[in-house]
Chains A and B, each alone.
Chain A
Amino acid sequence: MDNDHWIVTLDAVADTLIPSRGPWPAPSDLAVAADLVARLRGEERLQLQESVERLRKDGFSTRNAPERTAMLAQLEENEPLRFDELRRLVYFGYYAQPVVTRVIRALGHDINESPQPLGYQLSPFSRAEGARAPQRRSRYIPTESVGSTLERGT
């Protein structure tokens, strides 16, 4: 199906934007493209499809890695807004993957797949922090003392 072809191309584009390295998986290993496209609203999906279709027709998936990089660099230079949107969506799609969250966690970050339901633990505001707050820095000007700024300045 034609529809599947552009999603295959989108995975190849995503792999070029975010190549696998060390613990970081390639987007295509996670089927990011299909996962992302399923989440888009109609208009956003159509815009993305249009961008990817152009690359598909130019044989993006059949090119080697340097050629793919060159094609995306050309898109970035010639149509920056279109490229920005393509990259934006791919980044959101990649970092929405639970496997990627696990990689980030393994790097020492306390992070969840989504903000809820777990939230995060933070140390409560402490007496020591309160004691550090500067009691005498800054000040407000009482209403009865406002006068004229210009007069105050002189």
Chain B
Amino acid sequence: MRQTRTLPEVEVLIIGAGMAGGAIACTLAEAGVEVRCLEQGNWLPGGARPHGDRYYELERGTRWNTSPNIRRWPADYPIGSDAVEPLMLNQVGGSTAIYTAAWPRFRPTDFVKRDEHGLAPNWPLRYEDLDPFFTENDRAMGVSGFNGDPAFPPHHPYPNPPLPLGKRGNALAHACEQLGWHWWPFPMAVNSREYRGRAACNHCGACQSGCSIDALAGSHNTYWPRALAAGAQLRTNSRVIRIESDSLGRVTGATYVDTQTGERHFQPAHKTVVCGNGIGTPRLLLASASKRSPQGLANSSDQVGRNLMFHGLAIVEAWTTEILEPHKGVICAASYSAEFAETDPSRGFVNGFTLLACGMNGPGFQANGSHSGNIAPWGVDHHEWMETHLNRGFAILVQTEDLPNPENRVTLDPVLTDSDGMPAPFVHYRLDHNDERLLRYACERAHDLAVAAGAVEVHVNRFFDAQHRYRPPAWHLLGTARMGDDPATSVTDGEHRAWDAEDLYICDGSSLPTSGAVNPTSTIGAVALRCAVAILKHLGRAAPSWSGPREPSLPSE
């Protein structure tokens, strides 16, 4: 067995360099805290991406696939599942290095679902508590948006003007106007103009492989450069295999493998922050079981890994006679509708959904059915189909809020392991009956929208397989180490401290008690900044001096 070398203690150890890890590292380092981050992946330079390759569409389906099970890079770990295809990236920036940068906020009702309908918990904070952190996060990421969306409370202006609507964004807008529905330009963490040294978007449309010109913001090109400039240490190729704790239950640091040399190190820390995403975090906590914590670290409540939420997802695609150029501009999304975002009990279910005007990628992807399986016929009819369908349409992404269900969970796979022998996560997920009704209703409204947009052909992908099992691609990994006010039903308190593991913090998508009906990264980033301010408070350090409509603050102890 290899020897483990013990390194000098650091003040704060962060595990995972994604959205939350980057925001926390940056905030702490700029406040003068000694920070070290362990990241199992490496830097992913923009030029390494396939955007300049004529085979970019094939690459996106293989080497650059958003599923680690297909991509199979050295830093990836396999994910077992009986349900979904979880998507993530294990590199500096985490999944923000390959995501589409959709940037809506959660809404006020998302924080008080217990008060609203009782089928999900309240958060231990309110929208108003998070608002200044949303604002600071928007600034750090360079969000482009149109101010004044009536579907949200008034908030500080976005740092950049909105991105172009393009033909498909306008198509959704016109359709909503016909139906009398809300629509609005969608906020995106993509530069509509040069911002803080990063280029303006040139609308290449290939956001699903990240961004080769860094116009699209992730923590790798926003928070991490600042964190490193402020003295944070980032150790790449460093895969944490176990969080260590002493006999009293205090977390003392983490053991990791240098994946370049195979050497093992113990990194002691005064405080440890886990930011491994909604699947990686519960996996690591469960794999860190000990005699004192046989169910897994921070898991006396048996809540670690439970309440997994992905969002209900479907894609409705509209083909029109007009060329709508769905290969141009941000792929998700030019405009959106929040007409049905709030619960309306008369519909027969709780929670709501949003509809987003999304792209269809290039001709190879469109010939292969785009997002809805409308595949160009082979044989003599192929070219005629392409001539009448190519670029004539757009995709409507249906995104519904799913309820936290304790049976939807991440456990450790009994067979699969990563390349260092650590058990892989296993994901089980089923749609709740409420969520099935919600998704069906949302697809019907998306169909209405497609028709109002002038669709001559509509295809719906509900992501059900031949056995009628719901098997969606799962980007939004939420709820598996949720924060709360009650140690019996949550894993951390409202300031991200594990209830039963001293000096351990957990902050990423797993912290979110509800899923909202929108892409979650904006909220994960805001929550991470708030977590960093909490850590500063616990360390006796001053909060950062962000300017804004309200200074960030936390309740006093």
Contacts and interface: CB of A to CB of B under 8 A. Distances in A.
Contacts of A93: 58
B108 A120 contact: no
A119 B170 CA distance: 20
Interface stretch (A4-12, A49-57, A84-92): A84-92
B363 interface: yes
Interface in A1-30: 16-19, 21-22, 24
Contacts of B157: none
A130 B164 CA distance: 11
B173 A132 contact: yes
Contact of B203 (A22, A95, A119): A119
B62 A44 contact: yes
B345 A114 contact: no
B103 to A, nearest CB: 15
Contacts of A110: 325, 328
B413 interface: no
A111 interface: yes
Interface in A92-119: 92-98, 100-101, 104, 107-111, 113-119
B146 A130 contact: yes
A72 interface: yes
Contacts of B341: 138
Interface in A113-144: 113-125, 129-130, 132-143
Q: Which of A18, A98, A114, A136 has the most CB of B within 10 A?
A: A114
Nearest to B364: A95
A153 B108 contact: no
B390 interface: yes
Contact of A142 (B153, B161, B363): B153
B357 to A, nearest CB: 13
B545 to A, nearest CB: 27
Contacts of A134: 150, 176-177, 182-184
A93 B126 CA distance: 51
Contacts of A132: 173, 177
Given A116-B52, A122-B329, A137-B339, A143 B57 contact: no
Nearest to B184: A133
Contacts of A96: 54-55, 57-58, 364
Interface string A141-152: 111001111101
B163 interface: yes
A146 B205 CA distance: 39
A69 interface: yes
Contacts of A124: 161, 164, 192
Nearest to B340: A138
Contacts of A111: 327, 362-363, 391
